[in-house]
Amino acid sequence: MTLTRRHILAALPLTGAAALGLGFQHILSSMKTGQFDPRAIRTSGEAVPQFPPLSPLPGLKGTIEGIECTSLTQQNKPILLNFWASWCIPCVTELPLLSALAPSLTLWGIAYKDRPERASAFLTRNGQPFERVGQDKDGTAAIEWGVTGVPESILILPGGHVVWHHRAALTHEVITHDLLPLLRPFL
Amino acid sequence: MRFFHSFFLTVLLLSPAASYAVDDPKELLPNPQQEQEAEQIGQQLRCLVCQNESIEESSAPLARDLRKIVRQQLTQGRQKSDILAWMSHRYGNFIQLKPVFNSETALLWLMPFLALGSACALSYRLWFKRPMQARSLQDTALKKD
C-alpha cells in the first residue's frame, strides 16, 4: 500500500489527538511527582506583602515578640514563616520536623484563627520551635500572604524576598528536595 | 400525575441554576446593584480549598473571608479589574476561574481558532482542489481521443 496524501490527511487528526493525550499525560504525571503545580504562585523573590502587625502570642516561655512587616524585611538571615493552628491535625505531625529544623533555621510561627490560650497550650504540649509567634485571629494577614489554610510554610531570604511557598505540611522529602537547596548559600 | 411531573421538571429547569452560599444575610451589601456586582466578581474567583466551586457558591471559611474582601473593596469604590488583580497577586492566576490570556495560556485560548482555521483550510483543499484534478484528467483523456 502506498502512502498517499489521503493517508497523511487521515493521520493528521489522529496524531493531533495523540499529541494532546501525551501532553495531558505529561501534565498529570508531573502534578503527581510535584514538578508542576497549577496552584503554585510565583515566588521568585517578591517583596514581603504588607500585612497588619501581628501581636505576640501570650502564655509562652520567655519573651516572645510579635511579627510585623518591617521586622521581617530587616532580617539578615533566612526565615521560615509557618502558619499553624491548634485545631489543625497535620500541624501536630509537622511540629517535630520544625523542631528538628530550628537549630539551623530561624522559624517564625503565626497562629491562624486560633484562641491565644489554646494556641499557647498547643505549643507547650507539642514543642515550641519558633523564635517569634504572632497571632492572626481573623486570618487577614494569611490572605495578604496568599495562604489558603494551615499548615503552610513560606521562606523569606534576607532583605524580605519571598522565594518559596509550600501549601501543605512539611515532610522529610519536601525539606530535603525543596527547602534545603534554597538554604544552601546561607548554611 | 404526568402533568405534575412535567410541571415540577419545568419549574426545576427554569429556576436559576446557581445557588449562593451566603451563610449570613448580613454579608449582603445594602445596595442591590453593588451586591449584584459583588456576586459577579465572586463567581469568577475560585474557592481554593474546594473542588471547582466559586467563592460565591462555597461555604468554606476562606471563601467567606474572600467574599467579605470583595464587598469591602467594592464599597471602597474599587473596580472589578482591580479586585481580580488584587486576588491574583496574592493567590496566583489559579484563583481566576476564567484563565487570563498570557503566554502560558495563549495556546488554550487560540486553539478553537487554530482548529477552525485548519479545518477550513483542509475542507477547502478537499472540496475545491479535487474536482479540478479530476477535470484535468478528463481533459487529457479527451485529448488522447
Amino acid identity, residue A19?
A
DSSP-derived 3-state class of residue A39: coil
Q: Which range (B4-13, B29-38, B60-69, B96-105) has the least confidence?
A: B4-13
Instruction: List CB contacts (< 8 A) between A38 and chain B.
Output: 94
| pLDDT surpassing 70 at residue B8 | no
Question: Contacts of residue A48 in chain B, CB cutoff 8 Å?
Answer: none
The predicted pLDDT at position A179 comes to: 93
Report pLDDT for A32: 85
Amino acid at A172: H
Give the Cα separation of B34 and B19 in Å (integer). Answer: 18
Amino acid type, B19: S
Q: What is the pLDDT along chain A (187 residues), one digit of tens a residue?
A: 577 777 887 888 889 899 999 999 998 998 888 777 777 776 778 889 999 999 999 999 888 899 999 999 999 999 999 999 999 999 999 999 999 999 999 999 999 999 999 999 999 999 999 999 999 999 999 999 999 999 999 999 998 999 999 989 999 999 999 899 999 988 7
Could A39 and B90 be called an inter-chain contact, meaning their C-beta atoms sit closer than 8 Å? no
* DSSP three-state, residue B137: helix
Give the number of other Cβ atoms within 10 Å of residue A138's Cβ. 13
Spatial distance between the Cα atoms of B108 and B117, rounded to a whole number of angstroms: 15
Which pLDDT belongs to residue A132? 95
Whether residue A139 and residue B48 make contact (CB cut-off 8 A), yes or no, is no
Q: How many angstroms separate the Cα of B142 from the Cα of each of A16, A148, B56?
A: 42, 78, 73
Q: Give per-residue burial for B14-26: e unless 16+ CB within 10 Å, then b.
A: eeeeeebbbeeee
Is residue B133 scored above 60 in pLDDT? no
- A42: chain B residues, CB-CB within 8 Å: 92
Q: What local confidence, expressed as pLDDT, does residue A3 receive?
A: 73
Determine the residue type at B40: Q
State the cell numbers at B139. 481533459
DSSP letter for each residue of B41-87: HHHTBB-TTSSS-BTTT---HHHHHHHHHHHHHHHTT--HHHHHHHH
Interface probe with A: pick from B45, B64, B90, most Cβ of A within 10 Å: B90
Are A163 and A182 within 8 A, CB to CB? yes
CA distance B61 to B58: 9
Cell numbers for B136: 484535468
**Can you tell me the distance from the alpha carbon of B40 to that of A93, in angstroms, rounded to the nearest whole number?**
40
What's the grid cell of residue A96?
517535630
Which of B62, B90, B92 faces A144 most closely, judged by CB atoms?
B90
Nearest to B94 among A38, A113, A143 (CB): A38
pLDDT at A125: 93
Distance from the B103 Cα atom to the nearest Cα atom in chain A, whole angstroms: 15
> Does ipTM surpass 0.85 in this model?
no
pLDDT mean across residues, chain B: 82
How close A145 gets to chain B, by Cα (Å)? 6
B91·A145 Cβ contact <8 A: no
Contact across the interface for A143 and B65, Cβ inside 8 Å: yes
* pLDDT at B1 (0 to 100): 57
The arithmetic mean of pLDDT across residues B21-34, rounded, is: 80
pLDDT attached to residue A8: 82
Nearest CA in chain B to A43: B92
The set of cell numbers assigned to A101 is 529544623
- Per-residue pLDDT tens for B43-59? 999 999 988 899 999 98
**Which residues in chain A belong to E strands, given as ranges?**
46-47, 79-84, 106-112, 132-136, 152-157, 161-166
pTM of the model: 0.77
Place of cell 502512502: A3
